[in-house]
Amino acid sequence: MEIAIAPMMEFVWPKSRILEVYLNIAEWGPGVYRAEAAANTHFKRTARQLNRSQAALMAASLPNPRLRRSSAPNS
């Protein structure tokens, strides 16, 4: 289904909107959805308050957030 929708979505929405929607439907950990909730869960901050390092740690956890914890990357 995504294959059919993606080209149309890229035609209608700018890349920034596509990224915003993706980040707000992605699972950032067990039962944690939305970037704002993930920032609060992992760093006790709002998404706007994250520094670049923390934002990068969150992005790096996306391939498998159930195994990769943003707030504890070495564990």
Instruction: Supply the pLDDT for residue 34.
Output: 93
Spatial distance between the Cα atoms of 61 and 39, rounded to a whole number of angstroms: 12
Distance CA 74, CA 7 (A): 37
Is the pLDDT at 75 greater than 70, yes or no? no
For the segment 5-26, the average pLDDT, to the nearest whole number, is: 90
The pLDDT tens digits of the residues spanning 52-69 come to 999 999 888 888 877 777
Question: pLDDT tens for residues 17-37?
Answer: 998 998 899 898 888 999 999
Measured distance CA(33)–CA(47) in Å, rounded:
13
CA–CA separation, 16 and 38 (whole Å): 19
Instruction: Provide the pLDDT for residue 74.
Output: 67
